[in-house]
Structure 1
Amino acid sequence: MNSPAMLAIGSTLLCGVLGVAGIHTYASGKAQRAALLDRLAITGPHETGRPRRFTGIDRRLRKTALGKRIQLKLAVTGLDLTPGEFFVYMVAGVAALWMIASSVLAPFFGPIAGLVALWAANTFLNWQRQKRIEKFINQLPDLSRILANATAAGLALRTALGMAAEELEAPAGEELALVTSQLMVGRSIDDALGELSERLPSRELVVLVTTLVLSNQAGGAVVGSLRNLTETLEERKETRREVRTMLSEVNATAYTIPMLGLGALLMMNSITPGSLERTTGSTIGQGAVILALGLYTLGFIVIRRLGKIEV
């Protein structure tokens, strides 16, 4: 057999071996990726070891834009939920409120109750996020004090952040542990702290991060700055508590007014059974109900705006 034939046979065999190896590598990588997704779906973002529900839905939902948005919101709330679990619970809540409103009030109120359930789910996530931010802000004086003491003892800022992550409780401990992990894999202090301030936005955290970043870049009396910042944060903490107490009545009023409207509907329907169904059976009645709901919503938004004061 001549040399060109041997070369062709050798090339064919080599291509076949490389093709088989490539297919095997692709299949192995795909299997590892699927196993990783399954493990993430089971353990969840907090790795509590709790058995996860709806793993199939969660795996498919994470590939969509809606799933990614839900995952980002859940990541900053501290909730031990996967996007699939939250999505299933939200859909179940929408269906339950839809059926309850349709049966208790009138079929016209079913879609409205479904929209209210969607709004309530999004509001719940925003409330949990704000609650976590408030708790983190209350821990900032302790964080600043720990960093000041560690820096005064001659420790580097990276080491001081690690100590604070071990000593502080959640959410500050969890967030600083994430910052420490990012620093260990090579991220700069500026990027890690900047991402922290984006996850939990607040004026107090921005001031602390700016102080740490500038001190890390230009040097200087970081201990004195942190001690002064600790006193300032303590004063702001007390001020925020006083303002929140003064505005608690206003915030309660914002939620009481819509509940009064719902109570009026229930009372009307209980006094005269079927009155809401007859009212919403005509175009004029539906328009009047929508107008009333719009006015209640406007009042809720206006009162919430009046009771929202940034300190």
Structure 2
Amino acid sequence: MSLDVLALLLAALTLAIGVWGFREWGVGTIERRELASRGTLEEQLDRRRRSPLARLDALLRTAEFGSKLERRLRTAGLEMKLSTFVLAVAGASVVAVVFLWQALAPIFGIVAIFGVVAGIFGYLKRQEERRKEAFTAQLPELARVLSNATQAGLALPTAIDMAAEELDDPAGAELRYTARSIQLGQPFEEAITDLRDRMPSREIGVLISTLLVSSRSGGALVSSLRNISQTLESRKETRREIKTILGESTSTAYAMLGMGVGSYFLINTLMPGAISNMAESTAGLVIILVTMALFTIGFIAVLRMTKLDF
């Protein structure tokens, strides 16, 4: 073998070793970066778990009130931590107390606490109702998807997983949560019952009962789901008509409450200090409390009269 051929082979071998070494160096660098980032992520998660808000979250979850409130936040679709919600309520209450205490009278500052808490929880309840209504409006489509899936021979857990991918939120999010619970080992009946508890309504109750009966004893599930789909579609149209008819009365209730609160500011604007002077006397304080009670009673009465359980 000549020296030129030997030198060429040594050069090729050196190049191959160099390429292999460079590759190993690159792979090692990437692995070290991944380990470093993983360690940083774990450190960040550990710091978050030890943060004051995380500790407050853990403390609130131990109480029954905290666990129920967290469930309501998730049902309402609010991407907010439990501690953040509680601190927001407390902060809004303090701001309202200071503002009304200075703007009108001390008695309004005290009442503001109840008003802010009632208003925020009323908003939370409204968001829950809106999300439930949106979920209920998707039930006919959900029944059709489940009917088609079961007709194709898919099991109910698989059909639910498929429906979660096809439907938009909130039905998609709730079904994904249910499908995930089943995948993690929760029995089908318990997972589907939790769905009914999270989104309680007569329509979902009928659909869930049909699925439970079918999972236990079998039956003509496809035809039942198709009949339910048609019935739910009719009920959706009926609900929409009723809500349209009652929309004016509901607006009247909120207008009445706004007029009550605005009247105090109007009087105080026309006669600065009038509300504060009234609150300093017994007769004036009684008049203020009576008018506030009347406006509140009127607001609640209109809402109750326009609330239908259908």
Pair in the same fold by TM > 0.5: yes
1:102-133 residue CA offsets vs partner (Å, 9 max, x unmatched): 12111221011111001111112111111110
What is the identity, as a one-letter code, of the residue corresponding to 1:211?
T
1:157-190 residue CA offsets vs partner (Å, 9 max, x unmatched): 1111110011111111111111112222332222
Q: Distance in 1 between matches of 2:102 and 2:193?
A: 51
Q: Which residue of structure 2 aligns with residue 122 of structure 1?
A: 121
Q: Distance in 1 between matches of 2:282 and 2:46?
A: 54
Summarize the alignment of residues 1-20 of structure 1 with structure 2, pairs less than 5 Å apart.
none
Q: Distance in 2 between matches of 1:57 and 1:73?
A: 18
Q: Distance in 1 between matches of 2:65 and 2:47?
A: 18
Distance 1:158 1:59, change over 3 A: closer
Within the alignment, does 1:307 sit opposite 2:306 as a pair? yes
In structure 1, the residue corresponding to 2:236 is in which secondary structure?
Answer: helix
Residue 95 of structure 1 deviates from its aligned partner by 0.8
8 A contact 1:37–1:59 mirrored in 2 = no
What is the identity, as a one-letter code, of the residue corresponding to 1:237?
K
Task: Give the 4+ runs in structure 1 shifted more than 6 A.
Answer: none
Summarize the alignment of residues 73-112 of structure 1 with structure 2, pairs less than 5 Å apart.
73-112=72-111
What is the identity, as a one-letter code, of the residue corresponding to 1:192?
A
Residue 78 of structure 1 deviates from its aligned partner by 1.2
Larger radius of gyration between Structure 1 and Structure 2 = 2
Q: Distance in 2 between matches of 1:88 and 1:211?
A: 42
8 A contact 1:158–1:183 mirrored in 2 = yes
What is the identity, as a one-letter code, of the residue corresponding to 1:62?
R
Distance 1:246 1:37, change over 3 A: farther
- Which of 95-104 and 69-78 deviates more? 69-78
Determine what percentage of the aligned residue pairs are the same residue.
Answer: 37
Residue 306 of structure 1 deviates from its aligned partner by 1.2
Tell me the TM-score normalised to structure 2 length.
0.81
Q: Distance in 1 between matches of 2:181 and 2:117?
A: 35
Residue 141 of structure 1 deviates from its aligned partner by 0.8
Summarize the alignment of residues 1-311 of structure 1 with structure 2, pairs less than 5 Å apart.
38=48, 54-311=53-310
What is the identity, as a one-letter code, of the residue corresponding to 1:225?
S
8 A contact 1:254–1:304 mirrored in 2 = yes
Q: Which runs of 5+ in 1 are unaligned?
A: 1-31, 43-52
Q: Which runs of 5+ in 2 are unaligned?
A: 1-41
In structure 1, the residue corresponding to 2:280 is in which secondary structure?
Answer: coil
Q: Distance in 2 between matches of 1:107 and 1:271?
A: 19
Residue 202 of structure 1 deviates from its aligned partner by 0.3
Q: Which residue of structure 2 aligns with residue 46 of structure 1?
A: none
1:184-215 residue CA offsets vs partner (Å, 9 max, x unmatched): 23322221111111111000000000111111
Q: How many residues align?
A: 268
Residue 36 of structure 1 deviates from its aligned partner by 7.3
What is the identity, as a one-letter code, of the residue corresponding to 2:155?
A
What is the identity, as a one-letter code, of the residue corresponding to 1:77?
A
Q: Which residue of structure 2 aligns with residue 12 of structure 1?
A: none
Tell me the TM-score normalised to structure 1 length.
0.81
Residue 274 of structure 1 deviates from its aligned partner by 0.7
Residue 60 of structure 1 deviates from its aligned partner by 3.6
Q: Distance in 2 between matches of 1:290 and 1:274?
A: 17
The structure with the greater share of residues assigned to helix is 2
Distance 1:194 1:62, change over 3 A: closer
Residue 288 of structure 1 deviates from its aligned partner by 1.8
8 A contact 1:99–1:110 mirrored in 2 = yes
In structure 1, the residue corresponding to 2:138 is in which secondary structure?
Answer: helix
What is the identity, as a one-letter code, of the residue corresponding to 2:68?
R
Q: Distance in 2 between matches of 1:293 and 1:283?
A: 15
Residue 229 of structure 1 deviates from its aligned partner by 0.7
Q: Distance in 1 between matches of 2:177 and 2:234?
A: 28
